[in-house]
Structure 1
């Protein structure tokens, strides 16, 4: 089973990558770094929360594990 700390670190790294990507996409789509950044921050906060919940649920499921 994965520790909570590992799940959190994985989620943060994944979401930082997503934040950068969404900021660029938002900038291209809106032409505004402020609006693009705001959309990216909201998306990242929601994504981080959902990812942590998702990881913790799967950490408790033994199906498909070896050993």
Structure 2
């Protein structure tokens, strides 16, 4: 699983993180992504239920939204972490 590779890979503990004190470790990005997706998914669930009136459909929409945006946010964070501007 990709999460296991991120958490336990030697790259996560390589000297790259030791040299760059401004860089976040991948695990921090994963936890930030998870916490933000919980907030976002609750919002999606409420909006979906309001628009459809069906809790089962709203839950399905929110579930797919959670997974896809979690992955997108993780990679978004990792890309921004490489950008030196504003640090």
Q: Please, which of 18, 42, 66 is the counterpart of residue 64 of structure 2? A: 42
Structure 2 matches for 1:1-67, cutoff 5 A?
1-65=23-87
Cα RMSD (Å) of the superposition? 0.8
Structure 1 residue 3 displacement after superposition: 0.9
Higher Cα Rg, which structure: 2
Structure 1 residue 58 displacement after superposition: 0.8
Structure 1 residue 45 displacement after superposition: 1.1
Q: What is the DSSP-based 3-state SS (H/G/I as helix, E as strand, rest coil) of the residue aligned with 1:44?
A: helix
TM-score w.r.t. the length of structure 2 is 0.71
Structure 1 residue 56 displacement after superposition: 0.4
Q: What is the DSSP-based 3-state SS (H/G/I as helix, E as strand, rest coil) of the residue aligned with 2:80?
A: helix
Q: Which has the higher contact order (CA 8 A, sep 6+)?
A: 1
Name structure 2 gaps, 5 residues minimum.
1-22
Structure 1 residue 28 displacement after superposition: 0.8
Measure, in 2, the Cα distance between the counterparts of 1:4 and 1:37. Answer: 29
Equivalent residues, number: 65
